[in-house]
A and B are shown apart, each in its own frame.
Chain A
């Protein structure tokens, strides 16, 4: 792991990750302000499929929120946890696959 921290590009990349995480609640607020719809949702509306969505498991942080915590903080925690977890999983998988 020493290699990881001492490499300059890795340190810069980790800083970029931190900035992205801090930006997440800002963007969350802004997109909430204009309303949110993706083409898939539009297609579901057009064909009457909108009600067919049946979430089988909401996950521990449903819809990038923390149960019981308000929107900006919930989004911030979700961004931090998700980014850290993705880093750990991808690194771990990479290390396992290395020969």
Chain B
């Protein structure tokens, strides 16, 4: 899913940067009220856990492999604002320290994995959690990664390196990740189930109000 440099035309990369920048900026502002002595460590631990989980490439017979991306999981567990910040830390460190995803393309990778994956995952979870909580977590993981893949497919498909072959890039990205997304959904649902069972109070995405209330206490 990580876009390397050279794949995106400058205007596409610029638009991705703009979209990612606005969303991360809003998330940073909203996060001010949500952070506290329990949620700040939670933000750190979830971000670190997603980085570590992304390193686990699940081999799939037939010559492909997939790793958990985790944006939807971050959105469910942390809510949209902190979820975006956690994924921003992960994707930025991957690009700067490990060369995973380009620097010019970082805006695109942030837009897909730190913004779209988080927000779509959060929205799907909120929409379906009253029907079935674990099922909603699965749908969030699966649906969000598929929509993120659509964003990447459109971005590269509008670029000259891919010969403007939108009709090729979009089906491959969406089809491929819709298939691999079942793993994303399963891991999201499994880990969500565990955390929601052990510490339901830590799952910020379950809070009924649309905005996470400030942390109280101390």
Contacts and interface: CB of A to CB of B under 8 A. Distances in A.
A40 B173 contact: yes
B180 interface: yes
Given A31-B58, A64-B55, A87-B48, A55 B28 contact: no
Interface size class, chain B: 35 or more
A13 B45 contact: yes
Overall SS of chain B's interface: helix
Contacts of B40: 91, 94-95, 98
Contacts of B198: 9
Given A36-B65, A82-B51, A83-B52, A94 B35 contact: yes
Given A10-B45, A39-B172, A89-B93, A98 B36 contact: yes
A65 B100 CA distance: 11
A38 B96 contact: no
Given A24-B52, A40-B156, A56 B45 contact: no
Contacts of B156: 40, 43-44, 49
Nearest to B153: A43
Nearest to B5: A56
Contacts of A23: 56
Nearest to B54: A82
A24 B58 CA distance: 10
Interface of B: 1-7, 28, 31-33, 35-41, 43-53, 55-66, 82, 85-86, 89-90, 92-100, 102-104, 149, 152-153, 156, 159, 161-163, 165, 168-169, 172-173, 175-177, 180, 198-199, 202
CB-based closest 4 A-B pairs? A39-B176, A31-B57, A91-B44, A20-B52
Interface of A: 3-4, 7, 9-10, 13-14, 16-17, 20-21, 23-24, 27-28, 30-31, 33-40, 42-44, 46-49, 52-64, 75, 78-79, 81-91, 93-95, 97-99
